[in-house]
A and B are shown apart, each in its own frame.
Chain A
Amino acid sequence: MRTVAVIGASLAGLSASRSLREQGYDGRLVIVGAETHRPYDRPPLSKEFLTGKVAEAELALEADGEDLAAEWVLGACAVGLETGERSVRLADGRAVRADGVVIATGAAARTLPGGDGPAGVHVLRTLDDARGLRDDLARGGRLVVIGGGFVGAEVASTAAVMGLDVTFVVAGPTPLAGPLGPDMAAAVSVLHADHGVRLLCGTGVRGLVGKGASPAVLPSGLRGAEATEVSGGAAGRGRVGAVVLDDGRSIPADIVVVGIGAVACTDWLEGSGVALDNGVRCGADGTTSVPGVVAVGDCAAWYDAASATHRRVEHWTGANERPAAAVAALLSGGTAPPAPPRPPYFWSDQYGVRIQFVGNAARADSVTVEDGSPADRSFLAVYRRAGEPVAVLGVDRTKLFTRRRKQLATSVARGATA
């Protein structure tokens, strides 16, 4: 293999590039990234970056003086993959010929249908998004957060701690109901009320209203977490004034954050022959349907033996850890036996509380609090399926959580919970 192209210059792409060098690949390495920035860390963007505690320079993922001997092609978007001759087409007409391709294009924030919306409406995925939101939050005012995922919950928390007046609108029964399961999600969601955030659950959003003169509701067509087709949406560039809920209530807003999930960036692979299905469909080691092409990070749906499905896991640790296995598969032509990946893990910081989760809550048939208590906002809960642990949640229980995480990883490696 003489040339490897890594498409996507963020966490998963950087980790794959490092793995290539660590695993002895000494050929040409081309790293293509749509953003103009060197790889940076996203988790602080919904947390300390917004408060100003973490500055831009501290977001860098590369170590000082780190040199991967790579050709960086930044500010360049891949628009197509020719699998026959393995060449990646870029938006500016250039092409990168490569023997191996690592797809690491991640995901993009879902936006409200009908355009950008009025000023003051934000999504949060990139550094540029975060800069805009940070500047808006610094002015203070009333913030409405739409959507019950991690990014929404963290922005609500960060802004509340900064002193803004925050309303958090969630379509489901409670924020984080998907990843944590409804019971534990409810136990965690009391943190919002503890800190004076108004949590409105079980309601979709009908649209946004501009400030002052424009009384018309701009339909967002947003029901639940599902953004649907919308007519009009000519939002103009006035400033947002309110969010109108499905039940007709109008919530005044100076700033709106739309946190309704992220979509895998795989458009550029349409028609290439790489199998797609809510992300790039991969084996248990990141190999795709096309030899010489692997996929890693948020854009990749790896086969998960425990649940016998392809799962797109959108967490930092997987994007950092799993590329090593994908690179091993790429360099060995798929003959290296895949090591079972560690169970998916994520953390979230809300209101100074550390939330950690490992495993897959959807597989559980029971969940028990085994240490501490939700009333104290500090506890450990174990999720089981037929008596076997399949997931663990820790809320401000770092040490104990680490132990349980290790046990879960060990039992998965032994195949005990497969």
Chain B
Amino acid sequence: MMNPACRLAGIPRGESCRLETGPPVAVFRTEDGEVYAIDDTCTHQDASLPDGWLEGREVEYPLHASKFDLRTGAVDAPPARLPVRTHQVLLEDGTVYVALSDAPPNLPPCVAARLAGGVA
């Protein structure tokens, strides 16, 4: 299902916005204007990827420097070891739509435990 996420004009290039889905999703707009959606939380520890450092099509996680490829979710270096889940994005009439993936998310253990406990 395609969920309307936000207006494209609402995300400047090099910035991102966060969707309060469960688990939350981050929508990135690169400096080149491409839009990608990935899970918001780093697979290593509990922190938000949009706080990170966007360079080309990669976002570097703000605390420990693992980098994720926005297209594939692949991680380049430790300490994160698992890819981050990616979601399909559709642009129409200046609105960003996101189709949430039904693959299991790779949440860090502390966040997974919290969600399982029902305290999202």
Which one of B4-12, B21-29, B57-65 is at the A interface?
A: B57-65
How far in angstroms is the closest Cβ of chain A from B76? 10
Q: Is A406 an interface residue (CB 8 A)?
A: yes
Q: Is A321 an interface residue (CB 8 A)?
A: yes
Q: Is B77 an interface residue (CB 8 A)?
A: yes
- With A54-B109, A58-B109, A398-B51 as contacts: A63 and B64 at CB distance below 8 Å: no
Taken together as a complex, chains A and B put the C-alpha atoms of A406 and B63 apart, in Å, by 13
The residues of A that contact B53 with a CB separation of less than 8 Å are 402, 405-406
- With A58-B109, A399-B50 as contacts: A317 and B65 at CB distance below 8 Å: yes
Residues A316 and B64 in contact, CB atoms below 8 Å apart: yes
The residues of A that contact B50 with a CB separation of less than 8 Å are 399
Q: Is A353 an interface residue (CB 8 A)?
A: no
Kindly report which residue of chain A lies nearest to residue B60, judged by CB atoms: A402
Taken together as a complex, chains A and B put the C-alpha atoms of A345 and B60 apart, in Å, by 14
Taken together as a complex, chains A and B put the C-alpha atoms of A58 and B79 apart, in Å, by 10
The residues of B that contact A316 with a CB separation of less than 8 Å are 64
Query: Which residues of chain A (197-222) have a CB below 8 Å from chain B?
Result: none
Taken together as a complex, chains A and B put the C-alpha atoms of A41 and B51 apart, in Å, by 23
Chain B interface residue bracket vs A:
10 to 19
The residues of A that contact B78 with a CB separation of less than 8 Å are 11, 14, 41, 61, 63, 320
The one of A53, A64, A398 that contacts B81, using a Cβ cutoff of 8 Å:
A64
Residues B65 and A321 in contact, CB atoms below 8 Å apart: yes
The residues of B that contact A347 with a CB separation of less than 8 Å are 63-64
Contact with A along B40-74 (1 / 0, CB 8 A): 00000001101111000000001111000000000
Q: Is B103 an interface residue (CB 8 A)?
A: no
Q: Is A111 an interface residue (CB 8 A)?
A: no
Taken together as a complex, chains A and B put the C-alpha atoms of A61 and B110 apart, in Å, by 18
Taken together as a complex, chains A and B put the C-alpha atoms of A53 and B64 apart, in Å, by 18
The residues of B that contact A320 with a CB separation of less than 8 Å are 65, 77-78
Residues A402 and B110 in contact, CB atoms below 8 Å apart: no
The one of B51, B52, B77, B109 that contacts A53, using a Cβ cutoff of 8 Å:
B109
Q: Is A354 an interface residue (CB 8 A)?
A: yes
**Residue picked from B51, B62, B78, B81, most chain A C-beta under 10 Å:** B78
Kindly report which residue of chain B lies nearest to residue A54, judged by CB atoms: B109
How far in angstroms is the closest Cβ of chain B from A275? 30
Kindly report which residue of chain B lies nearest to residue A59, judged by CB atoms: B79
How far in angstroms is the closest Cβ of chain A from B46? 10
Residues A398 and B62 in contact, CB atoms below 8 Å apart: yes
Residues A401 and B62 in contact, CB atoms below 8 Å apart: yes
Taken together as a complex, chains A and B put the C-alpha atoms of A349 and B25 apart, in Å, by 25
The one of A41, A48, A399 that contacts B62, using a Cβ cutoff of 8 Å:
A399
The residues of B that contact A41 with a CB separation of less than 8 Å are 78-79
Residues A398 and B47 in contact, CB atoms below 8 Å apart: yes
Taken together as a complex, chains A and B put the C-alpha atoms of A43 and B64 apart, in Å, by 10
How far in angstroms is the closest Cβ of chain B from A365? 28
How far in angstroms is the closest Cβ of chain A from B68? 14
Kindly report which residue of chain A lies nearest to residue B79, judged by CB atoms: A41
Kindly report which residue of chain B lies nearest to residue A18, judged by CB atoms: B77
Taken together as a complex, chains A and B put the C-alpha atoms of A43 and B47 apart, in Å, by 16
- With A53-B110, A58-B109, A320-B65 as contacts: A402 and B81 at CB distance below 8 Å: no
Residues A354 and B63 in contact, CB atoms below 8 Å apart: yes
Residues A63 and B110 in contact, CB atoms below 8 Å apart: no
Residues B63 and A356 in contact, CB atoms below 8 Å apart: yes
Query: Which residues of chain A (240-295) have a CB below 8 Å from chain B?
Result: none
How far in angstroms is the closest Cβ of chain A from B44? 9
Q: Is A60 an interface residue (CB 8 A)?
A: yes
Taken together as a complex, chains A and B put the C-alpha atoms of A103 and B77 apart, in Å, by 21
The one of B47, B48, B62, B79 that contacts A61, using a Cβ cutoff of 8 Å:
B79
Taken together as a complex, chains A and B put the C-alpha atoms of A313 and B53 apart, in Å, by 22
Contact with B along A377-406 (1 / 0, CB 8 A): 000000000000000000000110110011
Residues A399 and B81 in contact, CB atoms below 8 Å apart: no
Query: Which residues of chain A (2-57) have a CB below 8 Å from chain B?
Result: 11, 14-15, 18, 41, 43, 48, 53-54
Sort A-B residue pairs by CB-CB distance and give the 4 closest, nearest first.
Answer: A399-B51, A398-B51, A402-B62, A61-B78
For this complex, 24 residue pairs linking A to B, each with C-beta atoms less than 8 Å apart, are A15-B77, A18-B77, A41-B79, A43-B64, A43-B79, A53-B109, A53-B110, A54-B109, A316-B64, A317-B64, A320-B65, A320-B77, A345-B65, A354-B47, A356-B63, A398-B47, A398-B48, A398-B51, A398-B62, A399-B50, A399-B51, A399-B62, A402-B53, A402-B62
Contacts A53-B110, A398-B62, A398-B63 aside, 16 further interface pairs with beta carbons under 8 A come to: A18-B77, A41-B79, A43-B79, A60-B81, A63-B78, A316-B64, A320-B65, A321-B65, A347-B64, A354-B63, A398-B47, A398-B48, A399-B50, A402-B52, A402-B62, A405-B53
